[in-house]
Structure 1
Amino acid sequence: MAEVKLNLQQEGPSAFEIIDEKGKAGEMVFDIQGSDLTVYHTEVEPDREGMGYAKLLLEAMVAYVRENKLMVIPLCPYVHLQFRRHEELYHDIWNKKNEN
């Protein structure tokens, strides 16, 4: 069973990492500046695609953001697409100040 772990870094980007029985299966790379969490990239290992791992990473990030009263800047194409498709789920944490 897959588990999401938070890997916070003082310097450089942090990540939510998904670990399964084979090891690290993917990650969502982000940085926090003030009250904004900027998501840069989400990636799942090719042999683990289609297993819902990206969604688990998204859910972990959203829970963390809400718990810590942050706002999300979704630069990652996957996260941005999910926010646009399901705006009703994420409108409270979506920082649209930098949207075009």
Structure 2
Amino acid sequence: METTNVVLNEKGRGEVQLSSDGKNAGKMDILVHAPRLTVYHTEVDPQYEGRGFAKLLLKELVSYARKNDLKIIPLCPFVHAQFKRRPEEYQDIWFKKEESTSHDSTKNN
């Protein structure tokens, strides 16, 4: 049985962790600095590859962001690729750089 959870330290650094039958199977390295959550890296242990575990991690990440009203900065290539593949599914939590610069450009007009 697979379980996922988010573990953060007092500075907002941490992981989305995935366990399978009580063993560490994968993780995502994250930093929460509200209102944003940056995801840096996704890793699945080689013995668990091909089972959709990276998508389980992504599901937990997205759920956590929605529950905590956070926007995700997808620096991780896997997460970024998933967001680009299904932008409508992630539009509510995907932080895009143009969101921050669009506000700045109105100041110059």
TM band (smaller chain): over 0.9
**CA shift digits 1:33-91 (9 cap, x unpaired):** 12000000000001100111110100001011001100000000000000000001001
Matched position secondary structure for 2:97: coil
Q: CA 1:98 to 1:48, structure 2 compared with 1: closer, same or farther past 3 Å?
A: farther
Which stretches of structure 1, 4 residues or longer, exceed 4 Å deviation after superposition? Answer: none
How many residues are paired up?
99
How high is the sequence identity, in percent, across the aligned residues?
A: 46
CA distance in 1, matches of 2:82, 2:76: 10
**What is the Cα-based RMSD across aligned positions, in Å?**
1.6
Matched position secondary structure for 2:81: helix
Report the structure number with the largest CA radius of gyration.
2
Contact 2:12 2:33 in 1 (8 A): no
Higher helix share: 2
- Stretches of structure 2 lacking an aligned partner (at least 5 in a row): 100-109
TM-score by length of 2: 0.85
